């Protein structure tokens, strides 16, 4: 079951250089405009792309070719802790 993220929730993210992102794990994605969003990480090795699937189905996934990952304007950080704020 996926965690349900709501506005106001707190998440702790890790530096991706020292924390391996696991298949299907939630990440915080930052686009070129500095906007943050929660996505789910998928590595499609057959098609050589990283897919960041939105937590909200109203949005489209972000697809990043493996060979463009370091050039991409989208950064993503694994979520290692999540808590609700009441």
Provide the CATH number for the domain formed by 10-83 in this structure: 2.10.109.10
Q: Alpha-carbon distance 25 to 52, whole Å?
A: 10
Q: What is the pLDDT of residue 45?
A: 95
pTM score of the predicted model: 0.84
Q: What is the pLDDT of residue 53?
A: 95
- Which tokens is 41 given? 């990480």
DSSP state of 75: E
Q: What is the pLDDT of residue 1?
A: 53
CB burial of residue 41 (10 Å; 0-12, 13-18, 19+): buried
Ordered mean pLDDT values, 10 residues apiece, the chain (86 residues): 77 87 92 88 96 88 90 88 82
Q: Alpha-carbon distance 78 to 55, whole Å?
A: 14
Q: What is the pLDDT of residue 2?
A: 67
Query: Per-domain residue ranges for the chain?
Result: 10-83
Q: What is the pLDDT of residue 3?
A: 64
Cβ count within 10 A of residue 14: 15
């Amino acid at each position: 079951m996926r965690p349900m993220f709501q506005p106001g929730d707190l998440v702790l993210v890790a530096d991706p250089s020292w924390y391996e992102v696991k298949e299907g794990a939630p990440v915080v994605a930052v686009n070129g405009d500095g906007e943050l969003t929660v996505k789910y990480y998928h590595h499609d090795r057959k098609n050589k792309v990283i897919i960041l699937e939105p937590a909200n189905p109203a949005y489209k996934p972000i697809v990043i070719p493996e060979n463009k990952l370091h050039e991409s304007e989208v950064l993503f950080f694994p979520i290692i802790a999540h808590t609700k704020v009441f």
